[in-house]
């Protein structure tokens, strides 16, 4: 039974663009077949703690004497690692908050990016290598080349670094921009560009969900 791990981190429970797009991904995924199941992780409604102990960054065999993380903290980390391990595909809603990702999503990253466990390090185990992950990045402004803001996106590059480069996941990115054009009057001239970005993102999300969904059920 192919399983999707559907993660959201937007603090907007009413009109979030990333939530709309991850939900569209999950809906498209579930329509592929009755076998396609989804596990939901809403990091805003049900946040993880900040990583409570640096020792949790390392697999137990890589910890040095005296590093004894709290048992409850280890259990929390084990739960999120099991969720990731069990997933065939992951979709992550990642809004831009102050040029970065929400702290709730960063807390999840800090729990799952573990040297010697999910990061190939000193063994041949490659637990998440090749696992498809789709990042849905929503942002109020534009960071396209020529916008004057290129280089200020500190959301997608670190997620690609952690999930793709370090953990070896198969990363796809869907970006939707100018979501603030309908809210902030000075951005009103960019509203049509924002709507076009959303339409393109919806199409990309559906295409990606079908593509990775069928790979899981050829």
Ligand X SMILES: Cc1cc2nc3c(=O)[nH]c(=O)nc-3n(C[C@H](O)[C@H](O)[C@H](O)COP(=O)(O)O)c2cc1C
Q: CA-to-CA distance for 45 and 58, rounded, in angstroms?
A: 27
Nearer to ligand X, 104 or 118 (CB): 104
If we measure between CA atoms, which residue out of 39, 43, 48, 50 comes closest to residue 18? Answer: 43
25 part of the interface to ligand X, by CB under 6 A: no
Q: Which CB sits closer to ligand X, 116 or 140? A: 140
Which region among 10-18, 35-43, 57-65, 122-130 touches ligand X (by CB under 6 A)?
10-18
Tokens 């990253």 identify what position?
109
Q: Which is nearer to ligand X, 96 or 159 (CB)?
A: 96
Q: What are the residue ranges of helices labelled H in 103-215?
A: 103-112, 156-159, 191-215
Q: How far is it between the farthest Cα atoms of the chain?
A: 60
Should residue 12 be labelled a site residue for ligand X when binding is judged by CB under 6 A?
A: yes
Which of 3, 141, 172, 197 is close enough to bind ligand X by CB under 6 A?
141
Q: What are phi and psi of 101, to 5 degrees?
A: -95, 160
| 175-214 residues near ligand X, rule: CB under 6 A | 179-180
Residue 124 CB, shortest distance to ligand X, in Å, is 38
Shortest distance (Å) from residue 207 CB to ligand X: 20
Q: How far is the CB of 193 from ligand X (least distance, A)?
A: 13
- Rounded Cα distance, 128 and 117, in Å: 9
Interface pick for ligand X out of 140, 158, 164, 168 (rule CB under 6 A)? 140
Of 15 and 68, which has the nearer Cβ to ligand X? 15
Produce one character per residue of 159-186: b if its CB has 16 or more CB atoms within 10 Å, e if not: bbebbbeebbbbbbbbbbbbbebeeeee
> Counting contacts by CB under 6 A, is residue 99 touching ligand X?
yes
Closest CB 179 distance from ligand X, rounded Å? 3
Does 69 bind ligand X (CB under 6 A)? Our answer is no
Nearest one of 91, 127, 95, 96 to 112, comparing CA atoms: 127
On whether the CB atoms of residues 186 and 177 are closer than 8 A, the answer is: no
CB of 210 to ligand X, least distance (A): 22
Token digits of residue 89: 């595909």
Applying CB under 6 A, the residues found at the interface with ligand X are 10, 12, 16-19, 95-99, 138-141, 179-180
């Amino acid at each position: 039974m192919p399983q999707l791990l559907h993660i959201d981190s937007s603090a907007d429970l009413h009109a979030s663009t990333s939530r709309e797009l991850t939900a569209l991904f999950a809906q498209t995924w579930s329509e592929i077949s009755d076998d396609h199941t989804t596990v939901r992780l809403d990091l805003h409604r049900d946040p993880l703690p900040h990583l409570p102990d640096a020792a949790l960054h390392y697999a137990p065999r890589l910890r040095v004497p005296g590093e004894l993380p709290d048992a409850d903290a280890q259990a929390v980390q084990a739960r999120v690692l099991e969720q990731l391990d069990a997933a065939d595909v992951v979709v992550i809603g990642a809004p831009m908050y102050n040029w970065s990702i929400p702290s709730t999503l960063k807390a999840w990253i800090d729990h799952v990016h573990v040297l010697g466990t999910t990061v190939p390090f000193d063994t041949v185990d490659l637990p998440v290598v090749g696992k498809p992950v789709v990042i849905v990045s929503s942002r109020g402004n534009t960071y396209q080349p020529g916008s004057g803001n290129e280089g200020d996106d500190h959301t997608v590059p670190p997620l690609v670094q952690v999930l793709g480069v370090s953990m070896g996941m198969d990363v796809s990115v869907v970006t939707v921009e100018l979501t603030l054009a309908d809210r902030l009057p000075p951005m009103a001239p960019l509203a049509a560009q924002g709507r076009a970005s959303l339409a393109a993102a919806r199409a990309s999300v559906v295409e990606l969900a079908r593509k990775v969904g069928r790979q899981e059920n050829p």
